[in-house]
Chain A
Amino acid sequence: GEDVEQSLFLSVREGDSSVINCTYTDSSSTYLYWYKQEPGAGLQLLTYIFSNMDMKQDQRLTVLLNKKDKHLSLRIADTQTGDSAIYFCAETSYNYGGSQGNLIFGKGTKLSVKP
C-alpha cells in the first residue's frame, strides 16, 4: 500500500540549515507537497514540487526530488526559532479521489530550533 515515511524529530541550532527528509511510494504522484503545522494550528501549505522537476527554490526553502529513489527533502536555510513546527510531506494518492487523487500525508517531522 501507499505510505509516506518521515523521521519524527530533528533538532538544529538557530542559523544552521535544516534538512527534513521524506520517502514516498506512489511513482504516479504528480505533485509532492510540504506543509508546516505550528502548535495549536492547522496545516499551512509551504511549497510543492511538480514531479518532472528535480529542485525548487523559494526564498529560504529548497525542495529536492529524487524520483528514482522516491525521496523528497526540504531544506530550510538560516533556520530561525520561528521555524519550530511539525513539517509534513504529502503525495498524491489515487486510491481516494479517482483520476485526480487525494493527498496521503507522512506522520510529520517535529523540528526544534535551539537558540
Chain B
Amino acid sequence: NAGVTQTPKFQVLKTGQSMTLQCAQDMNHNSMYWYRQDPGMGLRLIYYSASEGTTDKGEVPNGYNVSRLNKREFSLRLESAAPSQTSVYFCASSDRQGVYGGQYFGPGTRLTVT
C-alpha cells in the first residue's frame, strides 16, 4: 500500500514551458487535492476534486489546470510556467464519506521555474 505517490520529485522549467505533475493514490479515497507550499505562506489549496468526475478551484487556482483522470489519479498542469510558480507542490487525498476529512499527503514535487 503506497499511499499517495507523486512524480516527478524534482523539476526545473524555463519560463513559458509547460508540464504536468502526476498524483496517484491507492487508498480508494474519493477526494483529492493539490496544494502549493511556499516559505512563510503555509499550504495553499490550488484545486480539489471532491469525487471522481468533479473538480473545483481552491484559494490560488490561477495559472493551473487539473484533471481527475479516474478515482486514483489527479494531475496538475502548468500551461505556461512563471517564476512565481516556483514552489513545492503536494497532492493529498481523503475519504469524505463521513464528516472526518483527514488528508493524506504525497512526498511533494519541488519545482523551480527560471
Contacts and interface: CB of A to CB of B under 8 A. Distances in A.
Contacts, number: 60
Interface string A47-81: 01000000000000000000000000000000000
A102 interface: yes
A102 B100 contact: no
Interface string A82-101: 00000010001000111011
Nearest to B4: A42
A9 interface: no
Interface residues of B, number: 26
B105 A102 contact: no
Contact of A107 (B4, B41, B96): B41
Contacts of B101: 31, 92, 100-103
B104 A31 contact: no
B44 to A, nearest CB: 8
Interface string A29-45: 01101010000011111
Nearest to B44: A105
Interface in B57-98: 57-59, 90, 92, 96
Contact of B45 (A42, A44, A96): A96
Given A42-B90, A97-B48, 14 more contacts: A31-B102, A41-B107, A41-B108, A42-B4, A42-B105, A42-B107, A43-B90, A45-B104, A96-B45, A96-B48, A100-B101, A101-B101, A102-B58, A107-B42
Interface of B: 4, 33, 40-43, 45, 48, 50, 56-59, 90, 92, 96, 99-108
